[in-house]
Structure 1
């Protein structure tokens, strides 16, 4: 093996590791941010109900006054998530996606935040 082969193998290994990282979907910047006068639990219930029938591996985590919903899009398995928390008397809604997911998931979040 010469130096060029070793360099190619090293680059391939770095690319493989970079593509398989397991960071939380919440470590990214939100794809959508909104506010609503509805309570955190009402918005979480609405989104969970909609995602339950259209996503995989739905998980709901409650911490203090915040709720996180995590799932994967049904057909492409894209990690998606919503973080809901109280902010200045309103509910702050942040939608996250690992890569481009079907727009229906963001639309569901927006529909659940309308008063």
Structure 2
């Protein structure tokens, strides 16, 4: 191999690594943001319950007081995420998605923000209003 072949091989390797790198869904700006009077742990628990059957690879984490949920949409595998941050009287909820997914997942989140919605144990998410 001469110098040109090695340079081309190195460039292809760099291109492959750069294209295959996956950043977290939380590195994006949130698609939707909302506030709720329900506690952060209750909101996160409700959403996790609703997302459990409708997503793949559901993971929950906590860092610096914020609760995060990340998963992949069931049919097309698009990464989605939720950050729930307690703050005084209100809980801030931020919804993230890597690619376009249907309104089902945000609808599930919205259903958990209403104090009268219950814990979602019935398994039926609220229908989108928009």
TM-score category of the 2 structures, normalised to the smaller one: 0.7 to 0.9
| Cα deviations by residue, 1:22-75 (Å, 9 ceiling, x for unpaired) | 110000000110000000010001000010000000000012321000000000
Matched, 1:34 2:34: yes
What's the TM-score once normalised by structure 1's chain length? 0.82
3-state SS of 1:91 partner: strand
- In structure 2, stretches of 5+ residues that fail to align are 1-10, 116-130
Equivalent runs, 1:88-107 vs 2, <5 Å = 88-107=88-107
3-state SS of 2:42 partner: helix
- For 2:55 and 2:80, locate their aligned partners in 1 and report how far apart those are by CA, in whole Å: 9
* Aligned length, in residue pairs: 109
- For 1:89 and 1:63, locate their aligned partners in 2 and report how far apart those are by CA, in whole Å: 20
Tell which structure's C-alpha radius of gyration is larger. Answer: 2
- For 1:62 and 1:80, locate their aligned partners in 2 and report how far apart those are by CA, in whole Å: 17
- For 2:102 and 2:19, locate their aligned partners in 1 and report how far apart those are by CA, in whole Å: 20
What's the TM-score once normalised by structure 2's chain length? 0.74
Equivalent runs, 1:44-59 vs 2, <5 Å = 44-59=44-59
How far the C-alpha of 1:18 sits from its partner, in A, is 5.3
Q: Is the 8 A contact 1:26 1:96 kept in 2?
A: yes
3-state SS of 1:23 partner: coil
Identify the structure with bigger relative contact order (alpha carbons < 8 Å, sequence gap 6+).
1
Tell me: CA distance 1:102–1:19, structure 2 relative to 1, closer, same or farther (3 Å): farther
Misfit runs of 4+, over 6 Å: none
